[in-house]
Structure 1
Amino acid sequence: MKFLIIIPAHNEENNLPFTLESLQQQSLRDFKVVVVNDGSTDGTSEVIRKYTDQDSRFETINLQKSAHQPGSKVVAAFKKGLETQNINDFDIICKFDSDIILEENYLQTVADVFAKNSDYGLVGGLLYVEKNGDWVYEGNSNKHHVRGPMKAYRKESFLQMGGLRETLGWDNIDAILLQNSGWKEVVIPELHVKLIKVKGADYTIKPADYYGRYFYFLGLNRFLTYVAAAKEAMKIKSPAFLFQIISSYEKCKSQNLELKISKDEQKVINQQRWDMFKKKWFKI
């Protein structure tokens, strides 16, 4: 199987070398990497050039700097990289972050899993972060969800869901739409991916505003949003946090901000969330 790996990067001169080196050391050699240099002002270009000059599997494109908005910026950069390639030349489409380190057998293991399971549409490992000198499970998400930094899609499933959406929540929308089309999302727990930078470290958006916008752009209805907001507020035991999330959500709704998903896709997402709610609370 041939991999197309697209890596959006903005001011990642300190982290990107680890990512590209781990790719160059992969036991599976049949891949192409496109690094999308998204308006970097540091030494990111020089880092990229080191690999493109010596290895024909590495390519790059340069974009003008865009505003840092959670979700939409990284997907927009990903799409620019995708436009430079003929997707028909590849079997697996990957969106990787520029601050991860992969084990040498990562791509080969993913390829083997896809080859043995024709209904697998999205595959990835588990994220680990450094804590007190040790690499520990990042733990911000369940172990059955492939996180945004290391998405690997079967080409057919990627095309069927219409690619990635330039919106907050894109890395949950993809999984829901794939599963609704009959594809499986599978995490390979023995594959550990080291995340150098903590998720959201560059975001300037406040947590409550983030959640409110996230639930809105995910297409959730009011009931499911309020339930999800209450869950987040309970985690930190803050009633005020609940109302701040709701306020952010309602603000987006009153402004009628554009969604990147269709009405039918909204129904799919809400139905999936409703099914999860019933299963957890009513055992239905």
Structure 2
Amino acid sequence: MRFLIIIPAHNEENNLSFTLQSLQQQSFKDCKVMIVNDGSTDRTPEVIKEYTDHDPRFQTINLQKSAHQPGSKVVNAFKKGLETQNLDEFDIICKFDADIILPENYLEKIEKAFSDNLEYGLVGGLLYIEKNGEWVYEGNSNKHHVRGPMKAYRKQCFEAIGGLRETLGWDNIDSVLLENLGWKEMVLPELHVKLIKVKGADYTVKESQYYGRYFYFLGLQRFLAYVASAKEALKSKSVAFFFQIVKTYEECRSKKLELKITKEEKRVINEQRWKALKKKWLKK
């Protein structure tokens, strides 16, 4: 199986070389790496050139800087890279971040998982972050969900779900849609991926605004959005945080901001959320 790996990168001069080096050192070599330079103003282009000049598997395109909106910006850059490729040449499509370090057997293990399990549509490892000099599990999501920085899709699954959506919540929307179509999402816990930069570190919106917009663009019904907001407020031990999230969510509703999912996809997402809630409440 052949990999197409697309890496959106904006001002990643301090991180990108670690990602590209870890890809260059993979035990599985049959891959093409497209780095999308999204209007970087630092030395990111020079870092990319160090690899494209010496390894024909590495290529790049340059974009003008897009507005920094969580979710939509990175997916837009990913799509621009995807448009330059002939997908008939590939079996696995990856969206990787520019600030991760992959273990040397990452692609090898991913390829084997797809080859041995035809029902797998999305495969990845677990994210680890550095704390007090040690790499520890990030713990920001359940261990059965492949996080956004390291997505690897079977091409047929990727095409069946209509690719990635330019919206906040894209990396949860894909999971729901592929499961609804009969594909499976699989996390390989032995694959530890190091995340150099903490998620959301350079977002320009407040955390409460982030969650409010996230729940809206995910297409959640009001009750489910409020339940999700309460869950985040409990983590923060702040009642005010709940009302701040809800306020942003309601503002998005009142403005009727455009969703990047169809009515049918919205229905599927909400049904999946209801199913998860009932399972938790009824413990079945």
Q: TM-score, normalised by structure 1?
A: 0.99
Displacement of 1:282: 2.0
1:153 partner amino acid:
Y
Once the two structures are superposed, residues 155-204 of structure 1 have per-residue CA deviations (whole angstroms, 9 ceiling, x without a partner) of: 00000000000000000000000000000000000000000000001101
1:181-196 matched pairs, under 5 angstroms: 181-196=181-196
Displacement of 1:48: 0.4
2:275 partner amino acid:
D
* Length, aligned pairs only: 284
Counterpart for residue 74 of structure 1? 74
Q: What runs of 5+ residues in structure 2 fail to find an aligned partner? A: none
Counterpart for residue 143 of structure 1? 143
Counterpart for residue 214 of structure 1? 214
SS of residue in 2 equivalent to 1:258:
coil
CA RMSD between the two structures: 0.6
What is the aligned-residue identity percentage?
Answer: 75
1:116 partner amino acid:
D
- Separation of aligned partners in 2, 1:36 and 1:252: 30
Q: What runs of 5+ residues in structure 1 fail to find an aligned partner? A: none
2:156 partner amino acid:
E
Once the two structures are superposed, residues 54-100 of structure 1 have per-residue CA deviations (whole angstroms, 9 ceiling, x without a partner) of: 11000000000111110000000000000000111100000000000
Structure 1 residue ranges (4+ consecutive) displaced by more than 3 angstroms after TM superposition: none
Q: TM-score, normalised by structure 2?
A: 0.99
SS of residue in 2 equivalent to 1:59:
strand
Counterpart for residue 113 of structure 1? 113
- Separation of aligned partners in 2, 1:220 and 1:62: 35
Once the two structures are superposed, residues 29-55 of structure 1 have per-residue CA deviations (whole angstroms, 9 ceiling, x without a partner) of: 100000000000000000000110111
Counterpart for residue 100 of structure 1? 100
- Separation of aligned partners in 2, 1:204 and 1:221: 26
- Separation of aligned partners in 2, 1:247 and 1:164: 28
SS of residue in 2 equivalent to 1:210:
helix
Counterpart for residue 243 of structure 1? 243
Displacement of 1:234: 1.2
- Separation of aligned partners in 2, 1:139 and 1:236: 15
1:57-72 matched pairs, under 5 angstroms: 57-72=57-72
Displacement of 1:272: 0.2
Counterpart for residue 7 of structure 1? 7
